[in-house]
Structure 1
Amino acid sequence: MTFPVGLALAEAVPRLPRGRGWWYEPKFDGHRMLMHRTEETLICQSRSGRTVTSTWMDLALAGQAVLRPGTVLDGEAVVWVDGRLDFSAVQARGASSARRARELAAEHPANYIAWDCLMADGIDLRARPYLERRAALLEVLDGVPPPIQPTPATDDIEVALAWYEHLPAQGIEGVVAKHSTGTYRAGRIWKKIRHAETVDAQVVGYVGPAGRPKQVAVLLPDGRRVLSQTLTAPLAAEVARAIAAAGPGRRARTDGGESYTTTTGLTVEVAAGTTRHAVVTVTRTR
């Protein structure tokens, strides 16, 4: 296995896939992290491939004590505060120096929620199906106490929907779906749904032809400028009329760096992710 490891990701979908072979896991709100137990130590890798062991030294020490050499786990570093996942505490840890990270760990220790086993006893499992990797994960973590623990998983869609409905109060931001036969590879190979709420947003621009825009750039209530998902044909027609009334625009960029043409004079209702991730779907114009 070559390090840093390319991580599997999930694409947002409007509803969970159903049918034979689908498994579901709660989506925890934290920092994506790989744990690599070598012969001598344990290394923590971030989603971007950086080594972040010093930031999560409490988890690294815990993993070094209980994981067998030749183990690689994929999961999420999370912080519980007053019985709820606290992403601000995770962000503070992620942005801190090694010394400050130790202070924060003393105040609010981290947990590691593992959902995949990429290597066990030095054997690369990424080409194995999800259910085999899941069995390996449970075997590796059998008897291992917190702060390292496996994520729950179920093949019952009703249980998954109950998680989605009842666990937001604890900071669970959604549900991830994985197929039982799926291998592990870099890229968006899983499906996920996240909790959303409807809010009004100002349209600040569009992508595509003025007469048939594909997406709109919106200013969300929290100040983020983001692109929407692809517009439906009726919505695109309504937006096009507003663009024509506003006149020519200029080029600008969203907070994420995507280019768009500016416009004014239109407010839309959007379903926007309630977490830090902005997945915006326009539901109607105002």
Structure 2
Amino acid sequence: MEFPVEVALAQLVPVLPAGPDWWYEIKLDGHRTIMWRTADSVRLQARSGREVTSAWMDIALAGMELPPGVVLDGEAVVVVDGRISFEAAQSRAASGPARARKLSEAHPALYIVWDALAVPSVDLRGRPYTERRQALLDVLGDLPRPTPIQAVSATDDLEVAQAWYDTLQDTGVEGVVAKLGSSAYRAGRSSSWRKIRHAETVDVDVLGYTGPAAHPHALAVRVPDGRVVLSQRLGALLAAQAAAWADASPASGRARTGAGEAYSAVASGLVAEALAGTTRHGVVTIKRFR
């Protein structure tokens, strides 16, 4: 398996699927992170494929306790005042090494793991979810305690999963992910992984921006039906976050939306959440970045 790996994604659905082969996991509000335990170090990968080790050095150091050859998929989360804070995770992910270190001292990160992609000398991606889950529990069970690396809560009981969804939102739980017990780990979006979440948002792929890189005005995004459109004008906070992204991912040229609007194209894999009701009409309101 070569770095970076293309991650598996869940389809957004309105209700949890039911059936004898479905398993359910708590969906936390953090940053998707792949942990690679190499022969002599740990590397962390974002969903986009970008290396993010320096932003999450506290969990990278904890990962040194894993056997070389282990590759895990999960979520880097930050707890503030007893609640999972996406804003704190976002701040950490957007920080340079010095600031990330200061933030980690105030609020150490947790790495909540839901999949084992590899164990020493074995690629598990083609194995069923239930087998990968057991391999994950075995690997994490050997870690010294305490550790910030923890397995996500999972159940095959639909009523338990629904109770998680109904009662845990105030703790920062975003929703629930359902996975077929027989499913392999396949890159991209698959119907064998499904998710429900409280926020009425959809994921959009960010393809570029308008305006100067130091202060983007709007984003060019691909919405779920495949159209490329411009977002509404970004607010100050989102514009600052987009500027940091644009600075780290220089534009590769100019491109146009389906309506002919020009934008600076960037091939970065950045994902944003947009209000679900806006994308149907070609007017996209960005809520936050993933």
| TM-score, normalised with respect to structure 2 | 0.71
> For 1:143-182, what aligned pairs fall within 5 Å after superposition?
143-144=142-143, 145-182=146-183
Please say if 1:278 is aligned against 2:274: yes
Shift of 1:252: 6.4
8 Å contact 2:27–2:177 — kept in the other structure?
Answer: yes
- Rounded to whole Å, the distance in 1 between the matches of 2:5 and 2:221 is 29
User: Is 1:11 paired with 2:7?
Assistant: no
Please say if residues 37 and 70 of structure 2, whose CA atoms lie closer than 8 Å, have aligned partners that are also in contact. Answer: yes
Structure 1 residues 59 and 141 mapped into 2: Cα distance closer, same or farther (>3 Å)? same
The aligned length equals: 224
**Structure 1 unpaired stretches of 5+:** 199-222, 231-250, 262-275
Partner of 1:141, secondary structure, is: helix
Q: Pick one of 211, 226, 230 that aligns with 1:253.
A: 230
Q: Secondary structure at the match of 2:52?
A: coil
- Shift, 1:278, TM fit: 2.8
Decide whether aligned partners of structure 1 residues 50 and 226 sit closer, same or farther in structure 2, where only a CA change above 3 A counts: closer
Partner of 1:36: 36
Structural RMSD (CA):
2.7
Cα shift at 1:253:
2.3
**1:133-152 equivalences in 2 (<5 Å):** 133-144=132-143, 145-152=146-153
- TM-score in terms of structure 1 length: 0.72
Q: Does residue 1:78 correspond to 2:81, yes or no?
A: no
In structure 2, the partner of 1:192 is 195
Secondary structure, in 3 states, of the residue corresponding to 1:55? Answer: helix
Identity of aligned residues (%): 55
1:49-97, Cα deviation, whole Å (9 max, x unpaired): 1111111101100111x21111000000000001100111111111111
1:73-112 paired onto structure 2 within 5 Å: 73-112=72-111
1-structure distance, mates of 2:231, 2:273: 14
Matches within 5 A, 1:231-246: none
Q: Which amino acid aligns with 2:37?
A: R
CA deviations on 1:113-134 (whole Å, 9 max, x unpaired) are: 0000000112100000000000
Q: Is the 8 A contact 1:229 1:280 kept in 2?
A: no
Map 1:205-224 onto structure 2 (within 5 A).
Answer: none
Give per-residue Cα distances to partners, 1:150-182, cap 9 Å, x unaligned.
001001000000000000010001000000000
Query: Where does 1:20-59 land on structure 2 (aligned, <5 Å)?
Result: 20-59=20-59
Larger Rg: 1
How much does 1:227 deviate? 9.5
